[in-house]
Structure 1
Amino acid sequence: MLGERLDAATMVVHLLGGPYVSIGARRVDVPEGSKRLLAFVALNDGRVSRRHAAGTLWPDVADLRAAGNLRSSLWRLNRHCAELVDADKATLTLREGVLVDADLVSAWADRLEAGVATGPDLAVHPSGTAALDLLPGWYDDWVLGERDRLRQRLLHALEVMSARLAEVSPGEAVSAALVAVTAEPLRESAQRALIEAHIAHGNWGEAVHQFTAYRRLLAAELGVEPHPTLTRLLLPVLVRAVR
């Protein structure tokens, strides 16, 4: 779902479904005590002050203790992950050439939304909804806002991707929309993308089935009806059914 062709030696920090590190096809697990430090640096554009990192990651201890915790965490990280983070007296920086998967998927979403996606950008990968969860199970304040922002961007990109694919490969369009619908069943724009993909594929029965299931879900969860524009997509079939 990213479109990038990465070199076998490329090091990537994975925050979606992570954190962990990959070097080509090889996965490298991050020491438990260093995961939050790596994620914090990666989410801050790969560069952060030591004081800010220590104060954010260890807010309930004295400054000297927090600085010591940071040094220990950094030592364990670089010992297991090949000098992943460069450090001087003031700053922590991801080593040059290290990529972050959250940045890669953001760039992928940018290309889709700008209408400049290439062939690899339109490939639906089997990772599915797992690729939408930034640092799952983490509830730090510095994670929550970024998780929601990135998730919304990726869901919208999947809808755009489905619309693009509907013109050339309706089956793949269905697959892309299904990822978004599975992640957020109440999201009407995702349901619309899936219904439109079914129609593009000529599967009117599947489209009606999806609409009916969504209508029931909305009624049960929110007590509302789908937007009239969604209903109008199925008018050709619904009118014949009434007749």
Structure 2
Amino acid sequence: MYQRVLLKLSGEFLAGEGGTGIAPEATENLAREIKAAREASGVELSIVIGAGNLWRGTRNGASMDATTADYMGMLATVMNAMALQDALERQGCPTRVMTAIQMSQVAEPYIRRRAVRHLEKGRIVIFGGGTGNPFFTTDTTATLRALEIGAQVVLMAKSHVDGVYDSDPRKNPDATRFDTLTHRDVVDRGLEVMDMTAITLCMDKHLPLVVFDIFEPSNLQRLLAGERVGTLITSA
């Protein structure tokens, strides 16, 4: 169904039950799921990962200069990218970390053509360092990178939530899940899929999204194989 995709992960996925830090077992389990899905589908796979397990500017840096707090968050995404790269490569998956903030000792600088070439050669590319600018979330980073590399879809991985609901299903047992939505529906209903900058960019560029539960066994593999999983968000 897809030839090139971008997978958006939360940093908390690396933390396990503790919720903070990087848990080796949780990171290994995530890497195994990604490897199995990629090998079964043969897609060109890129990843953007957040840093909520290590740093949140709005919480940890509440008393700091906002720009400084955001840069610290961007650096934290590189730490997560390196941890995921290590886990993937121990599973036998060739992986490259590219970052918008130059740190040549640990990652390649983000260059669009080089990223595309890595994908064409069968390497998983993990984008760290956000956009390289403060005040933009990793949701926006995922949208920008997906558009730049020509990804056909952004896969928004969630933890134990199998799509988009009209209210929080963990608080409201009567919440209704949507099978499909439009970008405009997400904006008009105020649904918490991704930040407003990211969703409006997806809407403007007609970039589809799929919101799904990555912790449901084989969900990612089924999705890449073309099965309907989670909630599909399109322009029409």
TM-score by length of 1: 0.25
1 or 2 for the larger relative contact order (CA 8 Å, sep ≥6)? 2
Q: Which has more radius of gyration? A: 1
TM-score by length of 2: 0.25
The structure that is helix-richer by fraction is 1
The structure that is strand-richer by fraction is 2
